[in-house]
Chains A and B, each alone.
Chain A
Amino acid sequence: MSEEKIVVTAVSSITPLGNSISEITEKLIKGISGISVITRYDLNDFPVRHGGQIDDSILNKISYPFEKVNLQFKLFYYCVNELFSKIAHNYTGSKIGCALGTDPNTSTIDDLQVLFKRYHDTTSKTYSKFDVTKLDNINPSFLMYHLSKNFGVNGPCLCNLGTCSASTQAIGTAYRLLQNKTVDMMIAGGVSSKTDPISIARLCRLEALEPTREDLNENCRPFDKKREGFTIAEGCVLFVLERESDALRRNAEILCEISGYGAALDGFSITDPHAEAKGMVWSMERAIYDSGISKDAIDYINAHGTATVKNDSHETKAIKKVFGEKAYNISISSTKSMHGHLMTAAGAMEVLDCIIAIKNKFIPPTIKYSNLDEECDLDYTPNVYKRKVINHALTNSFGLGGQNASLIVSKY
């Protein structure tokens, strides 16, 4: 394995906490929630009507390669455009790749209406005029196609479909492809926009989402005894990753080092964590081992902390198994309490949270925390941020289907 450091040199984000680093930093320090009543779709008849929403007006500031583009495409394209405007590189296209956490179907509700109606009309023999190119953007490869066409990216480009750990795994893949010198630069991160009625309906049937409460301030309470499920959110967070020597050569600002990656399959339950939290433990241990640092060197854990009953108690159990007694002395937080669960973009969002925390020397809080759960008895940095120098942060992402992934984000 290459001894060279892999570093992050640029970021672009559109998140429920804002789009600029300064905005997100301020909200993470002050503990301000980006969760509100979802207005993009009519969810009045749903038990879940809240989520972490982005301010999508920013998306109108640039033009897109064609007229009718859906929200996920806009999110991705906007962030890629911003990334390339920030960096001056001279890598050849075939040495630039992309790894993106996303869903197998990147359609919006409008796309699905077209798709469903086409099927309905055909099966009921009431044919209507149909233009299939309207549906091109339901295929995640469409994002990669335009990354190549409009930004000259010609290396390996892939979508990671690992549900809630997808973007953590995507960043891990980018890290590996840079280590083994398959590429010189990677765009890596995640995109998600699933606050639509179909996604909400499916997750409601799984009983994964917390019903909307009368007072939204009572929604989304990771590690709190009264937690009842996760809060869905949307957004896109993308990074530029390079080898340190290349970044230094082009005088790039280095935001952090990605120093370790680990992942594991539970092989236990499709919806629940492993009863003994095995996958979570392996994922964290592998990331720490890969980084070459000792467990004692971890200053902060950005927990997956979804606010589902099982995730939070199992993640707590896993942290204790990995760190032993030291677990009680590590600062932990779930930033999802502020921005919600960005699903396939969650891992990337939380890497960004770690970068901001490292750069600004603070532990972000877990907000809305008030009731101690005896199964969740670690230091979750309740409600108020803490000043602290962070040299190494561990960030966790655990997804449906027993996917577990962890990254070590280190100060540079």
Chain B
Amino acid sequence: MKNNTVVITSTTCVTSLAEDPMNLWEELSKGNIGIDKLKKFDNNSYSCGFGGIASDFNFRNINVIGKNIMNRTNQLEFYSVMKAFQNTNFSENSLESCNLYLGNHIINIDTETMEIMIKLCYENDNINFSKLGTNLKSMSPLNGVKLLPTTPSHFIAKENNIHGKGDVVYSSEISGLLSLMLAFNEICSGNVDMAVVASSYNPFTPHEFLWLCDQGLIKKTSPDDDSKKLVFPFDRKHNGMIYSEGSAALILESEESAKKNGRKILAYIDGASSNIFAGETFYSLSKKGFSENINSTLENSNIKKENIDVIFSNAPSYPSWDDAELEVILDIWNENQVIISNSKSYLGFTGPVSGIIDCILSIISMNKNKYLPINNFEEASAKFEGKEKQYINCISKKDLKRSLITSAGIGGAYSSVCLRGGNVK
């Protein structure tokens, strides 16, 4: 069995704070927050009125034939992937056998289609979809295309001449890291030399956001709330997530291919794993799940826990999720030093994209040898007895060489990856 070393040679992201990794790092270093009041639609009757919007993102200037078919989720993803290629010296021919892995979160029908259907089918306080039969022409022909999960892979393949395998995978909020694991395995096994991994998320359509509000993981807000004081990962004040939109992309290659083509190696991937451990409910995460997954990734990476210098944690500010993860980190690392970092207090929770964004931030963190403190953290809940303080916002490591990135989500889904700093300082 071939066992190629797998490296990351390009990273990009679009977030509510910045549209590229280095600017994002700068914004985070300044302590800036990408969460604000939502103004996109009337959300007065929603339990939450805040979120992270990539307000500078503008797709109008992108010149792609047929771009009207892409919804905002697809636009964000397309943009990130295109930038990932622009950032380095890929020739069109070199991408012909490149694989593409997209881990998106696209569940609900788009608002336009939904509103048309309600208009056509609402009768006697009910929705009668059989009425569509006599109103077919009221639906746009593009309706059947706009919602295809393969729309972004089509445009990405077309614009970049990518003709490798195209996997569009979903496993709740771990879809991004799961995609990375699949790509890593394929390159490691020698099936392919290069792969693009991307993820995109836009929860801010009226009905999608309503659905998220109904699920109850979101923070209940009032219009007077301070947008800087909403997200408290691991802190005892945590009481719900704030969602954000965004996208991110990574280019993965075998080390041999990267070196042969003279590309900068931003990071090495040591290993990754993905698991499902069903909790009590569809929305629960458990200590067992985090523990099994993190240990599995350490084992797959052939790395001892003490070799991990920084953990970019999942903790989205939802109490039981944060606490389960923190307990496991404290159990595993115990007396060993490790820095726990987290991006959600700045950016909000970008669903499946968050794992990829955290990979990017961990790469910058290692290559700059600087850690990202957790914003809004004072102390964890009483049961931790302050033990967390030696890991959070406390410089306990001189050199940041290896990072662990964790991602978890509904359905008891867990994924994590071990990265090692590259040769870019």
Give residues in A with beta carbon < 8 Å to B. 1-2, 41-47, 94, 103-105, 109, 112-113, 115-120, 122-123, 125, 127, 130, 132-133, 135-136, 138-142, 144-149, 153-163, 169, 172-173, 176-177, 179-182, 196-198, 201-208, 262-271, 278-279, 282, 399-403, 405
Contacts and interface: CB of A to CB of B under 8 A. Distances in A.
A400 B148 contact: yes
B214 interface: yes
20 contacts: A44-B130, A115-B108, A116-B118, A119-B118, A120-B118, A127-B45, A132-B211, A132-B215, A141-B170, A141-B411, A154-B277, A160-B167, A162-B167, A197-B130, A201-B133, A201-B136, A267-B157, A268-B158, A401-B150, A402-B153
Contacts of A153: 276
Interface string B257-289: 000000000000000011111100010000000
Given A118-B214, A401-B153, A265 B164 contact: yes
Nearest to B131: A45
A402 B168 CA distance: 12
Contacts of A44: 130, 133
Contact of B178 (A1, A156, A271): A156
B207 to A, nearest CB: 4
B128 to A, nearest CB: 8
B323 interface: no
Interface stretch (B25-33, B181-189, B368-376): B181-189
Contacts of A203: 144
Contacts of A176: 185-186, 189, 191
Contacts of A177: 185
A46 to B, nearest CB: 4
Given A147-B276, A154-B292, A163-B149, A402 B154 contact: yes
A357 B159 CA distance: 40
A342 B161 CA distance: 30
B76 interface: no
B2 interface: yes
A323 B200 CA distance: 39
Contacts of B395: none
A159 B170 contact: yes
B150 A142 contact: no
Contact of B165 (A46, A103, A263): A263
A132 B130 contact: no
B129 interface: yes
B122, B139, B149 — most chain A CB neighbours (10 Å): B149
B1 interface: yes
Nearest to A278: B163
A140, A156, A205, A208 — most chain B CB neighbours (10 Å): A156
B276 A282 contact: no
A202 B144 contact: yes
Nearest to A2: B1
Chain B interface, DSSP helix/strand/loop, else mixed = mixed
A205 B181 CA distance: 37
A104 B107 contact: yes
B386 interface: no
B69 interface: yes
A265 B153 contact: yes
A173 B153 contact: no
Interface string B142-176: 01110111110110111111111111111110000
A113 B118 CA distance: 10
A146 B281 CA distance: 10
Contact of B139 (A179, A205, A403): A205
B129 A105 contact: no
Given A44-B130, A141-B413, A201 B139 contact: yes
Nearest to B145: A270
B339 to A, nearest CB: 28
Interface string B105-139: 01111000010011000100011011111101001
Contacts of B118: 116, 119-120
B206 interface: yes
A125 B45 contact: yes
A127 B411 CA distance: 28
B185 A182 contact: yes
Contacts of B149: 103-104, 161-163, 401
Given A119-B118, A144-B411, A265-B154, 8 more contacts: A145-B282, A158-B182, A159-B171, A198-B132, A201-B136, A265-B164, A267-B160, A402-B158
Given A115-B207, A157-B171, A163-B150, A267 B129 contact: no
Contact of B296 (A94, A117, A123, A163): A94
Contacts of A119: 114, 118, 206-207, 210
Contacts of A160: 167-169
